[in-house]
Structure 1
Amino acid sequence: MSRIIMENSVNQEYLLDVLQRLLEIPSPSGMTDDIVRCVCNELDALEVPYELTRRGAIRATLKGVNHKPRRAVVTHLDTLGGMVKSLKRNGRLSLVPIGTWSSRFAEGARVRIHSDGNKTTTGTILPLKASGHTYNEEVDSQPVGWENLEVRLDEPGSSIDGLWEKGIRVGDYISFYPQVELCKSGYVNSRFLDDKAGVATILAAVHAMKYNNVKPSLNSSLLFTISEEIGVGASHVLRGNVAEMVSVDNGTIAPGQNTSEFGVTVAMMDSSGPYDIHLTRHLIDICMQEGIEFSRDVFLHYRSDAAAALEAGNDIRTALICFGLDASHGYERTHIVSLASVANLVVEYLKSPPLFEDDMNVIGLEKKYPRIKTSSELKPV
């Protein structure tokens, strides 16, 4: 029953269409202008006002029934990628990663090298010993590491001079083909679902609210950051009038994890520490009231936009909701039902009252806010 409710409230065709368009746009951290333009165009179509920060992050606004306190929903547009480390004498390129990910997922990938003047050159990532007919078992025994990879360009030439003449330079960005595949079973396979799937769920939530004439209970910011994969996240896009913020990102499907493959996962804690207990329970209550399938999980090797926001000194409540994702930072897979579940929860969260609606302050009235007793108030045992 919960899945029927969920599917009727969010247009899955729209969600998948937006997601596929986002996935086809290269956007490694530091090279996000094109995807920012794409999301801005989508916000224009949804008639959602927005502004850009100096660095190019998006701060959109949904007008609510009440103006204060404000809340925010955040996700990130940037992805993993690579950069040219050096031009090699054999006419190939050495590379370093952008973001944190294993080189084993780069081997064999098709890539674009983005050079000055908007010139792009295609190529393939290969291990240094790539030919079994030449290296025999050494192909299998060479270590996994970025220093053991190189880029073979789809251009003639085998020298540094040839690379230079083609306009290839140290510091050129390398973007990886996403290899998007939408399966009839509802699975979506692609690189960089982290976090373009999160972006698509937020846009699908706004789309559902617009076409069902649903207004948020509070003025709400939709934040799209551009450097989460390198740790900056939402540290630079918030304003001081936001009281609570929900981050939308991936939840890892793996042994030892409790992430839901077909629903929402509410993160209780990640590597940066616990999420706000009140906001987290508020989201869980919404799932239970609205029949949204959900689970709770703890992530030990993970952080989101919310962590960067708190580290930057923002005094806000934060929570993290996730779509289920297999093989994160690799060849990723999610399911449309999980994405629709997250979008549906975003709608219900934006409709819900603030945590402490009796007061404009983040904390709320003393009688409602859990307070630790002072030593003078404690009775001796």
Structure 2
Amino acid sequence: MDIDIDLTYTTRVLLRLLNTPSPTGFTEDAVRVVEEELAALGVTATRTRKGAPRWTLPGPEGARSVTFSAHVDTLGAMVKEIRPNGRLRLTRLGGYDWATVEGEYALVHLQGGGTLGATVVNVKQSTHVWGQELRELTRDERTIELRLDAVTRDDEETRALGVQVGDFVSWDPRAVVTDAGYVKSRHLDNKAAVAILLAVTKAVREGHATLARTAHFFVSNYEEVGHGAAVGVPADTDELVAVDMAAVGEGQNSDEHTVTLCVKDSSGPYDHALGNRLRETARAAGIDLRTDIYPYYSSDASAAWAAGADYPAALIGPGVDASHAYERTHVDALRATGGLILAYLTREA
């Protein structure tokens, strides 16, 4: 690999992002983190009217432009109902199974300011009370509830705490970097890619890479609900490469230690010619690039195409195990993904 991203910087920024709550629709704090990291690199971002940050690293005069997208919004929930027992019913933000958050710590972000700690439980949580009924319980929006870390026994006491229907709820990411180089956390989808784009920007700004293309970077804030990149991608984009997590699991070709090119997902195949350019770039740079197909997946590239975008689009990303649950990747995959992006940006168009 000819050019590396700074892994110390990448993991530091990634941990900062992971520990900044940003469920879909509530991303202001995470967007501000992106802007602050860019400012430290001497780069100024602009925002779309939907609140998505964008920035550009110019290439040679007249060069074609490629946009790399990632998303800073994550899975989460909103308060749907304040129950008579003072606990909260939730509605999901994004697509996940309720069983993947049962037992998780959470924060309720109060409309009036501040937060309340909480824990996700089910309505028959105690095995000593419910026995077999607990084991047979279906986990869904009717049986999962939020137990607040506050003295409340009814809905009036909960409302007195400032809780309202529509308050956002974020999950505790429990972000850890292990001695073996694994990053364990919720929301690696897709804060890993955002950290990688910032690391790529750092490498270029510090003179470690000479661009052959103009590089645009677009960080969407509504990807988890399907319309993140439907608008806002820079108008002069010649190619779009979405950078998002690669799905690792049985029957998949992706790996936690590598970067993957997704050639097809639920939205259909991605651009074959652009994919081949990325494959050739990886071969020339000595990067282990896997190819894979994701059966239940779509991306910001899918959203851009569905909205009528007229440019080729591809999807790459680091391998992430247990997606939409308590996820894991390895710094090898962060390095490989950043290396592929830098190799593509510096390769003659």
Counterpart among 124, 130, 141 of residue 129 in structure 1:
124
Written as runs of structure 1 = structure 2, the 5 A alignment for 1:303-314 is 303-314=298-309
Gaps of 5+ in 2: none
CA contact (8 A) 2:63 2:212 kept: no
Alpha-carbon distance in structure 1 between the residues aligned to 2:224 and 2:74: 6
Alpha-carbon distance in structure 2 between the residues aligned to 1:285 and 1:260: 20
Deviation at 1:66, TM superposition (A): 3.0
Q: Is the counterpart of residue 76 in structure 1 residue 71 in structure 2?
A: yes
Alpha-carbon distance in structure 1 between the residues aligned to 2:63 and 2:289: 29
Amino acid at match of 1:138: E
- SS of 2:245's equivalent in the other structure is strand
Counterpart among 281, 287, 296 of residue 291 in structure 2:
296
| Residue in 2 that maps onto 1:335 | 330
CA contact (8 A) 1:233 1:306 kept: no
- SS of 1:75's equivalent in the other structure is strand
1:5-44 C-alpha deviation (Å, 9 max, x unpaired): 47x7221111100000000000000000000000001111
Amino acid at match of 1:95: L
Deviation at 1:213, TM superposition (A): 4.0
CA RMSD of aligned residues (A): 1.2
| TM norm structure 2 | 0.97
CA contact (8 A) 1:260 1:294 kept: no
CA contact (8 A) 2:216 2:234 kept: no
Written as runs of structure 1 = structure 2, the 5 A alignment for 1:1-381 is 5=1, 9-354=4-349
CA contact (8 A) 1:66 1:217 kept: no
Q: Please list every run of at least 4 consecutive aligned residues from structure 1 whose deviation after the TM superposition is greater than 4 angstroms.
A: none
CA contact (8 A) 1:293 1:341 kept: yes
Alpha-carbon distance in structure 1 between the residues aligned to 2:122 and 2:315: 37
Alpha-carbon distance in structure 2 between the residues aligned to 1:57 and 1:341: 26
1:282-331 C-alpha deviation (Å, 9 max, x unpaired): 00001100101111111121111001011111101101111001000001
CA contact (8 A) 1:206 1:347 kept: no
CA contact (8 A) 2:35 2:44 kept: no
| Residue in 2 that maps onto 1:376 | none
Aligned length: 349
1:312-371 C-alpha deviation (Å, 9 max, x unpaired): 1110110111100100000100000011100111111111233xxxxxxxxxxxxxxxxx
Gaps of 5+ in 1: 355-381
Alpha-carbon distance in structure 1 between the residues aligned to 2:205 and 2:345: 13
- SS of 2:308's equivalent in the other structure is coil
| TM norm structure 1 | 0.89
CA contact (8 A) 1:286 1:349 kept: yes
Alpha-carbon distance in structure 2 between the residues aligned to 1:237 and 1:286: 27
1:234-282 C-alpha deviation (Å, 9 max, x unpaired): 1111133111011100111111111132111111111111111111000
- SS of 1:308's equivalent in the other structure is helix
- SS of 1:125's equivalent in the other structure is strand
Alpha-carbon distance in structure 1 between the residues aligned to 2:80 and 2:243: 33
- SS of 1:267's equivalent in the other structure is strand
Deviation at 1:137, TM superposition (A): 1.8
Which protein has the larger Cα radius of gyration, Structure 1 or Structure 2? 1
